[in-house]
Structure 1
Amino acid sequence: MLGTACGASPIPFNVFSLVIGPIHEEFGWDYTQISAATLFWGIPAALLAPFYGSLCDRHGVRKVGIASLAAFILVFSSFYFTPNWIVGWYLFWLALGAVAIGSTPVIWSRAVAMWFDKHRGLALGITLLGTSATAMVVPHFVNFAIGIGGWRLAFPAATLFALFLAMPFIVAWYREPRPEERPATISAGADGMVSGISLKQAMRGRQFWLLLVSTLLISVAYGGAHVQMVEIVKLHGFTTGDAATVMSVVALGILVGRLGIGYLFDRFWAPGVAFPAMLLPALACFVLMGTGSSFAFVALGGFLIGVAAGTESDIVAFMTARYFGLRHYGKIYGSLYAPFGIGSSISPMLYGAVRDATGTYDIMLGVAIGLFGVGGALLLGLGRYPDFNRVQIEDLAPAEISQV
């Protein structure tokens, strides 16, 4: 949970939302140009996610997670030196995307999924609550830092959480279970290997592609709404301080989504839970349209957007384990995280372009309503969970077949 909270998944999103306005005022770059930085961060990170996941499958999560978290601290702190040169701004984000994906749930969730089976959904939900904790605390702390030293101070200030909170605990205690500590239901055979299929096998089935497309659509709808939330709130006539409060309400929505959806995933068919959950952020987009809503109405929209974030990350982490097993979890999860990273990177630029062209975010919020609905509906086609402990004859080597 601490690794998730203090890594490259939630921290940049929550900082970006607060600095986009000051950067626009100081450098004169438009919102589309500033928001395009997320492409240089998200796309390299998304493309490298399967590689980082594969490293975890082979070498364990501890080494990869610690090294990547340290790299995240160094690179994100260096954003303090952002020049008045848009290419330089993009290069900072490119460097972040290349080194920091190993500090996201792509890494942290693998060990958690291997410790738990019966309550895996809730365990993953608690792990991913880190993003909710970040959204509750970081915007206020970063807003305070900006008040002291300007927008540049936001970047090193945000990394203090990783340096002094997450890193000491992870170095001291974070590990994967030993073979004898794993739940019996995830083991396959006497070799101590965990059960599951390869990425190549996963890509042959419809479940992989349904999850991939659903994740892409939902991330395009969600990413920009989160990054631009401060500006959305300000368009309704409220201050930056009010917007930071709404970001905390977003965090509350993430918390409810994480724990509530994780709990329900353990007890019911997960796609049947996920689809109605995706209709809530669609409602949020409708609520956030316009420029004159009451603060309570805007806060409600922020809360429901948070539920989307809480649900979507649970969907990918939980369903990767349920539909593909844990033997190649890192590589498969990394591959399914890739569209999330790409969609979340494209989305802020799309929201920014609509803002630049029309003065509001209403058109993009309308598109997001459809994306949330279609993305959620696709999950209903996933079907039953496979049973990886039922050995299939066609998957065995000749010597094993003779033993059977």
Structure 2
Amino acid sequence: MRRIHPAWAVAAVTFIALIGAAGFRATPSVLLQPLHDEFGWSLGTISAAVSVNLLLYGLTAPFAAALMDKFGIRRVAMAALFLVSLGSFLTLWMSQSWQLILCWGVLVGLGTGSLALGFVATITGRWFVKHRGLVTGVLTAGGATGNLIFLPVLSRVSESNGWRTAALTVSVAALLVVPLIFWRLRDHPADLGVTALGATGDAAPKPARNTGGAARNALRGLRDAAKTRAFWLLAGGFAICGATTNGLVGTHFIPAAHDHGMPQTTAASLLALVGLFDIAGTIASGWLTDRVDSRILLGGYYFLRGLSLLVLPSILAATAHPSMLVFILFYGLDWVATVPPTVTLCREYFGAAGPIVFGWVFASHQFGAAIAATAAGLVRDQLGTYTAAWYGAGALAIAASVLSLMLFAGKKIKTMSPELGIALKA
């Protein structure tokens, strides 16, 4: 009987952790209206806490990747889940908006950021040679699965038992994942005496942990990557990706639909449905990434997303009519389909330092998301509608398509970073 490679067990545990991280991070979108109703805080104020969460979620990623090199994946993942649990638990006693920023913005942002897509890049880079693009797509789909599971459940819990019960549910769920991480997650294939899936040759000895400072290694990765044109094109496109997904749709779709008379539970279910189609779209994107040039994929994904966002203002209504369901299907397939080709391009351009560099590219994603989350809240406060935000996001997504296709103009240069193993391209 053929033995199943342990890389699949590591991927399964990683998938579960990513489900939790995505669900925890998406929870504030469910709590926007309840917090507004109880405390009287404006949507712009509450969105600021979400923006801090999104920003730290991205900025933490490259440092978390460096910390995983230094202390191990398992330790960092467990510490991250403890932070998420603590941040969610402390919100039960908050009474001021700055406390929301501290708990959901800072603590949950740092925790979920350590389990962000840099985590995916680290796992797939160490454990997979064969099927790397496909596994990247599957793990990325964990985020969509988290939305699918948590959004409707927490929305109903919040409506029936109050938002504090929803926050407590998140806290407990984070703690429940910790024993599973401790039991099954391993840092390197060499820990189990095997090679990465698809690698040739005998099992390599466990590589020595990076003894340099994690922050220094992360910053060195940024310094070297920032010398290249490719990094700025990838980061610019991914910033727009974040603005048009987590920042705008992920944060404001529910209140925007509510503005048109749609019940919050219905809107949350539609947003969760985006996650359902996203699972299929992201896995398919991973499969395509192993076969089609990633620059072409990114250009197509961003262009189609832009078109869908330009249509959205005309189809928002009090009910989930057929046109809205078509949008949910189309947009869901495209939600994070951009991740597998972006991870692949970071590895192509930056070699062994790909996970750390992707962490910085992902930081730009969350920077764009943070700006969009606050900007859309302010647009709604000032204009009484989200329409301008939808049109602006659609135009930006089309611009990201152009940036992605400009990567074809890149050429190799000789700059090297021996410490990180970066082979840079323009």
User: Residue 172 of structure 1 aligns with which residue?
Assistant: 183
**1:315-394 aligned within 5 A:** 315-325=341-351, 327-383=352-408
Aligned partner letter, 2:264 = T
Deviations 1:272-293 (A, max 9, x none): 1121122232232133204547
User: Residue 314 of structure 1 aligns with which residue?
Assistant: 340
Q: Distance in 1 between matches of 2:23 and 2:94?
A: 20
Instruction: Specify which of 232, 237, 247 is matched with residue 214 of structure 1.
Output: 237
Point out where structure 2 has 5 or more consecutive residues left out of the alignment. 1-14, 210-219, 420-426
Secondary structure of 1:238's counterpart equals coil
Aligned partner letter, 1:144 = R
User: Residue 6 of structure 2 aligns with which residue?
Assistant: none
TM-score (norm 1): 0.85
User: Residue 132 of structure 1 aligns with which residue?
Assistant: 144
| Larger mean Cα displacement after TM superposition, 348-357 or 106-115 | 106-115
Q: By how many angstroms is 1:135 displaced?
A: 1.4
**1:47-126 aligned within 5 A:** 47-83=59-95, 85-92=96-103, 93-126=105-138
Instruction: Specify which of 24, 27, 37 is matched with residue 11 of structure 1.
Output: 24
Q: Distance in 2 between matches of 1:395 and 1:328?
A: 9
Aligned partner letter, 2:407 = L
Q: Distance in 2 between matches of 1:69 and 1:245?
A: 26
Go from structure 1 to structure 2 and tell me whether the alpha carbon gap of 1:47 and 1:140 turns closer, same or farther (over 3 Å shift).
closer
Instruction: Specify which of 235, 239, 257 is matched with residue 259 of structure 2.
Output: 235
Aligned partner letter, 1:41 = N
Deviations 1:329-373 (A, max 9, x none): 332122111111211122111111111122221101001111111
Kept in 2: contact 1:320–1:329 (CA 8 A): yes
User: Residue 279 of structure 1 aligns with which residue?
Assistant: 303
Deviations 1:356-394 (A, max 9, x none): 12222110100111111111221122239999xxxx898
Kept in 2: contact 1:69–1:162 (CA 8 A): yes
Work out whether 1:162 is the aligned partner of 2:174: yes
User: Residue 225 of structure 2 aligns with which residue?
Assistant: 202
Deviations 1:151-199 (A, max 9, x none): 12221212443332x3333221112322850354899x999699xx955
Q: By how many angstroms is 1:245 displaced?
A: 1.9
Kept in 2: contact 1:3–1:104 (CA 8 A): no
User: Residue 217 of structure 2 aligns with which residue?
Assistant: none
Secondary structure of 1:328's counterpart equals helix
User: Residue 246 of structure 1 aligns with which residue?
Assistant: 270
Q: Distance in 2 between matches of 1:185 and 1:207?
A: 31
Aligned partner letter, 1:352 = G
Aligned pairs, number: 385
Q: Distance in 1 between matches of 2:154 and 2:206?
A: 49
Kept in 2: contact 1:117–1:185 (CA 8 A): no
Q: Distance in 2 between matches of 1:394 and 1:346?
A: 33
| Larger mean Cα displacement after TM superposition, 54-63 or 378-387 | 378-387
User: Residue 328 of structure 2 aligns with which residue?
Assistant: 302
Q: CA RMSD in A?
A: 3.1
Q: By how many angstroms is 1:225 displaced?
A: 1.4
Identity of aligned residues (%): 23
User: Residue 214 of structure 2 aligns with which residue?
Assistant: none
Q: Distance in 1 between matches of 2:107 and 2:121?
A: 24
Kept in 1: contact 2:158–2:166 (CA 8 A): yes
Kept in 2: contact 1:286–1:369 (CA 8 A): yes
Kept in 1: contact 2:305–2:334 (CA 8 A): yes
Go from structure 1 to structure 2 and tell me whether the alpha carbon gap of 1:394 and 1:38 turns closer, same or farther (over 3 Å shift).
closer
Q: Distance in 2 between matches of 1:381 and 1:94?
A: 35
User: Residue 12 of structure 2 aligns with which residue?
Assistant: none
